Structure 1
Amino acid sequence: MTRPPKPAARPDKVSLRRYVRLFRQDILSAQPARLYRAWMAEFRTPFFRSYLVNQPDLVKTVLKDRPDAFPKSNRISEGLRPLLGNSVFLTNGESWKRQRRIIDPAFEGGRLKDTFPAMWQAAEATVARLSSKTDRPVEIEAETSHAAADVIFRTLFSIPIDHEIAAQVFTRFRDYQRSAPILNIAAFVPLPKWLPRFHSRRTRSAARDIRALITRLTTERQDQIRQGTAPQDLATKIMTTRDPQTGEGFDTDEMVDQVAIFFLAGHETSASALAWTLYLVATHPDWQENLAQEAQALDDGPDFSVMSRLRLSRDTFREALRLYPPVPMMVRETTCPERFRDRDITPGAQIVLSPWHLHRHERLWEAPDDFDPERWQTENGKTCLRDAWIPFSAGPRVCTGAGFAMVEGPLILSMILRHFRVEAVGEAPVPVAHLTVRSRDGIHLRLTRR
């Protein structure tokens, strides 16, 4: 079985200065090999201490058992603040709980079924767009970004990606992605609140433009809601939901914050996962043919029940999320003294939960670096799915759109493989971490019609 590419491991011991430089350039390549077999590791800086935690019961403690004791670290959020403001992705405590009380109902119950026709339309549009790009190399990350953005705009605002404002948001977001480092200097050095955060001019400009465009969409929708002409999509659902405890909803600025994270989380992460999935099936042709055969179920039309017949596609997408989790690391901060693995951890320490390491951990997974979608039917796979697979985080802060993504990804994958064979061309892609796990030089595939 062909092993998918992974970043070259760095030496186990590097100077702090070199580690910080590598960390800022690419988190993944900075990681030493020993972390893929360690239960916990300590990282010291002159200003704070970080602990990478891979032991499943400790991960469970942080994410599920006592999440309020381990809020999200502001060190990481500083880099995303220009675009995301005070969105649900960055807030903690009562502010976060209030936001989730308003947002969660939009993704509950039958909402996935309600959004399925829009997802189907976006998948069909993707196939139509790719039809003009067959028999030559295609940079597939650009195509999956386009597809995922189309899904977000169709399900959130009932507009396709070629809508004037949607197209502008998509274009400016690409500029933002290229200019925004995954970590700001505040991740390493404690800065007073009054001191500027040193975001580049390009990053600030792109974020400002994106938020202005989202504000236009939001205010237009507010007018439609008042006039009774608003479509019943996710934006309308969220904007008309009231906090059951206070009776208040989101104002315009708050809604812009939330739409920004929906676009980032729902577009950037899905695009990353789908691109890596297509690369993996391109390098495993036997598995690809099984998926294409299963995808014939789509011929029956856009009925949500078809998702129950795409089991192989679901497991393949799940395996891609294991090998290439879009968000490679999550950082929490201790608020009280802790004791992990006989180590005393003081308040203010950073607890790093790393899907990138946990999903490839040598002491948890069988053949952790292999692409094997069938692992999910084994006892080891079922155990690890429960204890060591966290691409969407876990516990109360699990991604609201996790179920959404697990429909969107397998559907678009199946739709593409129903119409095209995919073949990898050029050098093997090297995964690096920007806003999400992407390829350093793109992922190049050749599509041929079936």
Structure 2
Amino acid sequence: MIPPKPKSRPDRVSLLRYLRLFRADLLSAQPARLYRAWMAEFRTPFFRSYLVNQPDLVKTVLKDRPMEFPKSGRIAEGLRPLLGNSVFLTNGETWQRQRRIIDPAFEGGRLRETYPAMWDAAQAALARLKAEAGAEVEIEAHTSHAAADVIFRTLFSLPIEHEVAQAVFHEFRAYQRTQPILNLAAFLPLPRWMPRFHRASTKAAARRIRGLITELTAARQADIAAGRAPDDLATKIMTTRDPRTGETFSTSEMVDQVAIFFLAGHETSASALAWALWLVAAHPEWQERLAEEAQVLGDTPEFSDIAKLRLSRDVFREALRLYPPVPMMVRETRCPERFRDRELPKGAQVVLSPWHQHRHERLWDNPDGFDPARWGTENGKTCAREAYMPFSAGPRVCTGAGFAMVEGVLLLSLILRDLKLEIVPEKMPEPVAFLTVRARSGIWLRISAR
């Protein structure tokens, strides 16, 4: 079975039509030729945008000269109400300082320390799914619940059942459904004093989320001061000093970072796991192989077991290839550039698209097919190095990439060890891009006990 992907628009549409399509769904707003193009130019009255798929040019932007291609301020416009001045949106020295404080919390040894909390969240998710045995289930709701639980247990040592954690989770789901990837301010050259055209519901949800996160952060600061804080990710980040300045994050800075941890660690993980579960349901032969492999998992959290789940890791990598949670990333030229004999002016938008590069017809064998075995082929190994970036790449690679891979592999294996999944043919998922790649009407599966 070929996994579903959005229909593409015609090559030529009016600017107004394109903006409407873009606002409704980023993926179906793009023409089919982008799955073969090395580079494409899009012009508006106010700026030029260049989608780049050619691997060596992507490497130039992300790895070779990343400081010359900072994050686009146009993208930040839509996310600022929730994320403030978080590490996801900043550039230059501000971003470097934030990474110096954040990165130590996600080093390899910390993954082992957070694994028991991750295991507990996975067991709770498995119990909720077992209670649904015999039913048709909208699996994105379950993966969102599970990913939120992982974040709160590892970040603040709180299960999702905690009152504030529950409130953040529900508010975030509301926010995700009101916030398009780009708002109107991304397309217009607005002065700073003008309003940014955010929906009232989006701003209200962002205020509520940030208020709840402020409550958690202030309580943790008090616990740190009193010497009673648990040794979790929040404590590690809030007590880490910038090695250059000796400063720690202020409360408002930490609120910004927690907001992006929740967005990056909850939204993206939930999306990837939901698509992975649908893919194995659609390919029973792989599901059975993963179920057999998952028997190595015992009844207690052993971090060393993760290394034994090789097939599960390959399946999860394939899900990230076909359905990268963040479908596009936008950088900006700090100086004029020349790509493929084209002149890119200063301030041009450089769009890097995991969605298109991961399915590029000139790079991948069987680009639209589900084939976890590809990672052992020469083509798969080459593309893994040169055309695979579900977590971005270079200095701005997602800090929690290793964390996400452990979480996804663990949850996928535990669920398949105990449960059998089947697709619901009359409810085929249609991928669309909101904040992440989700399904327009959800991802439905039939669940039964093994």
TM-score range, shorter chain: over 0.9
Q: 1 CA distance for matches of 2:195 and 2:280?
A: 45
- Provide, for residues 88-140 of structure 1, a one-character-per-residue CA deviation record: whole Å limited to 9, x for no partner: 00000000000000000000130000010011000000011111111111000
Does 2:324 match 1:325?
yes
Report the equivalent of 1:33.
Answer: 32
State the 4+ residue runs in structure 1 displaced beyond 4 angstroms: none
Residue 434 of structure 1 aligns with which residue?
A: 434
TM-score of the aligned structures, taking structure 1 as reference length? 0.99
Aligned length: 449
Q: Distance in 1 between matches of 2:402 and 2:316?
A: 13
Q: Distance in 1 between matches of 2:129 and 2:444?
A: 13
The CA distance in 1 between the partners of 2:211 and 2:123, in whole Å, is 30
Deviation of residue 307 (structure 1)?
0.5
- Cα shift readout 1:236-265 (whole Å, capped 9, x = no counterpart): 000000000000010000000000000000
Letter in 1 for 2:375: W
Partner residue in 2 for 1:273: 272
User: What is the 5 A alignment of 1:438-449?
Assistant: 438-449=438-449
Matching of residue 61 in structure 1 with residue 74 in structure 2? no
3-state SS of 1:245 partner: coil
Tell me whether 1:92 sits opposite 2:88 in the alignment.
Answer: no
Name 1:256's counterpart in structure 2. Answer: 255
**Distance in 2 between the 1:305 and 1:387 partners?**
29
Percentage of matched positions with identical amino acids: 75
Matched, 1:223 2:222: yes
The answer to whether structure 1 residue 178 and structure 2 residue 177 are counterparts is: yes
SS in 1 for 2:242: coil
Query: Match for residue 284 of structure 1?
Result: 283
**What CA distance in whole angstroms lies between the structure 1 residues aligned with 2:381 and 2:134?**
39
Q: Distance in 1 between matches of 2:202 and 2:242?
A: 33
- Once the two structures are superposed, the pairs formed by residues 341-360 of structure 1 within 5 Å of their partners are 341-360=340-359
- What one-letter code is carried by the residue in structure 1 that aligns with 2:442? G
2:377 corresponding residue in structure 1: 378
The amino acid of 1:375's aligned partner reads: R
SS in 2 for 1:80: helix
Shift of 1:16: 1.4
For 1:351, the aligned partner's letter is: V
**Cα distance in 2 between the residues matched to 1:266 and 1:214:** 15
Partner of 2:118: 119
Q: C-alpha deviations, 1:195-233, integer Å up to 9, x for none?
A: 011111111111001101001110111111111110000
How far has the Cα of 1:301 moved from its partner?
A: 2.9
SS in 2 for 1:363: coil
- Could you list the runs of 5+ residues in structure 2 that have no partner in the other structure? none
Seen in structure 2, the aligned counterparts of structure 1 residues 135 and 300 have a Cα distance that, compared at 3 Å, is: closer
Q: Return 5+ residue gaps in structure 1 as ranges.
A: none
Equivalent residue number for residue 81 of structure 1: 80
Equivalent residue letter for 1:438: R
C-alpha RMSD over aligned residues: 0.7
Residues 420-439 of structure 1: CA deviation (Å, up to 9, x unaligned): 00011132100000000000
Which residue does 1:340 correspond to in 2? 339
Q: Tell me the distance in 1 between the aligned counterparts of 2:199 and 2:187.
A: 17
Q: Which amino acid aligns with 2:325?
A: P
Letter aligned with residue 294 of structure 2:
A
2: CA distance, partners of 1:117 / 1:414: 16
2:155 maps to: 156
In structure 1, how many angstroms separate the alpha carbons of the residues matched to 2:376 and 2:199? Answer: 47
**CA distance in 1: counterparts of 2:69 and 2:189, whole angstroms:** 19
- Give CA-to-partner distance per residue, 1:37-81, whole Å, 9 cap, x none: 000000000000000000000000000000000000010111110
Deviation at 1:187, TM superposition (A): 1.4
State the match for 2:312 in structure 1. 313
Deviations 1:359-395 (A, max 9, x none): 0000000000000000001111011001000010000
Please give the alpha-carbon distance, in whole angstroms, between the structure 1 residues aligned to 2:81 and 2:34. Answer: 32
Q: Which residue of 2 aligns with 1:189?
A: 188
Q: d(CA) in 1 for partners of 2:332 and 2:161? A: 41
Deviation, structure 1 residue 300: 5.7
Q: Post-superposition shift, 1:186?
A: 1.3
